[in-house]
Structure 1
Amino acid sequence: MRHTMTIPPENRLAGLSSEDVLIVSFPKTGSTFTRFVFANVVYLLNKNSEPVDFYNLGQIMPECLKDNLIDFCWKGDPLPRLVKTHQLAEDNPLYAQPKALYVLRDPRDTMISFYYYASKRKKGRYEGTFDEFVEHSTFGIDAYNKHIESWYSKASWVFDYETLMQDPLASFLRVFDDLGIKIQRELVQKALLFSQPDKLKAAEREKSRPNHSVNFDEDFTFVRNASVAQWKEKMSPEQATYIWDRSSAILKARYERD
């Protein structure tokens, strides 16, 4: 699929085409799993390509404002080009043009996973407590609420991480159907098998991640337990209640309080 759309100079950092599909999420809500599934579909469609790992994931599926999208060679036909972003919708005018798949997650689990990630980074490490992290204007619950409210009404598809873990096949087949792309069910099933958390953990152990030792503490693992409702064991009832009470109405509508 060719991407010949003329990019206005003010948008060259993005380089998006109206044909692209964005994979959008707030950090630590499930975009890695989602990207691996689509990347494994690309791998299976191109039998001569390398198996997907953390080193070539970005070569298969680029990230907006990080990779050169204008010159990026997409090898995933018949899929449209899939582009990752964590940015807010209003950060770039072109974000309103492509279709977007938005992944969200229980806010309590999101705060736990993002705090672990931020506190293990060497550059820009978060040094505060978990409670302080929840209040942080860039990382915490208000930032998550803002991100959801930025994208929720604009996305063509919205999936929660929990459903992607419990019934991923139906979710991904729905996207392909809506795009008018005929993908064999068995191929998607195989891509899902290749993308299961235990497979991603093994890939991370075998090859680590690009610049892992430079960017993160030695004991850091990007793929942890990929669990649902980990907050029930990892935080106090008071912390869980506080995060829930601070969460957006959109999140509350999708997650009934336990």
Structure 2
Amino acid sequence: MITVLVISDQSLQRLALTTLMARDPDLAVIGEATGTDQAAAMSAELCPDVVVLDRNLSSEDSLQTISRLAHPARAPFRSGSSRLVDRPRRVLVVNLVSADTYAVAALRAGARGLVLDSARAADLIAAVRTVAAGGAVIPAEQTRSLLETVRRHQDPVPPAPARDLDQLTARERQVLAAIAAGWSNAEIAAWLTIAHATVKAHVSSVLRKIGARARVEAVSFAYDTGLVHAPSTSLPARYL
């Protein structure tokens, strides 16, 4: 059973999210919160597997909530206390289609995934499962716009040494280049003529090796290491 804490300052939205997830027998909504302080307190008390945060909260409040849940302050251990020290939570954000700058900020604050508010119920439930299992979720249709946003707002930093790429196999570099071009798993599978499940395995391996939580961080890594250069939806010539 995957336990879920729902956060939204909109009562109808909380009801909608709770009702939707109640349809899945493997999901259990164990609490609802309306703001940062309440969310942090309930998270520490209930220890949910996933926190679903509705983007209807203001940007400042929602980013603060993500940060507090993903990076909780360590409580001092008290002898004889049965209460566990609060653990980082896996936060899934229900995001607006046009809020790409916010999406990048949410990922940097510690969110493990984004789901568009126009997503199907099945997609939201699948995203909750993925995040609960330790994975990361970014809508394929939002990857390209997020790429542009990352590039516009990225602070100038010296290029990462090429040896950082040495940890990746040749096939994993191909997959990373395709991710940086904004390709979906289905497009990568068709290009490389491999199974969709194999692509997912390669993507997971790439994210794990470079220490990224989500595809948008892999995009930044691809540019920082010089694997790809100008933002484009096409692959570098050496990968065609």
TM-score for the superposition, normalised by structure 2: 0.31
The structure showing larger relative contact order (alpha-carbon pairs under 8 Å, at least 6 residues apart) is: 1
The structure richer in strand per residue is 2
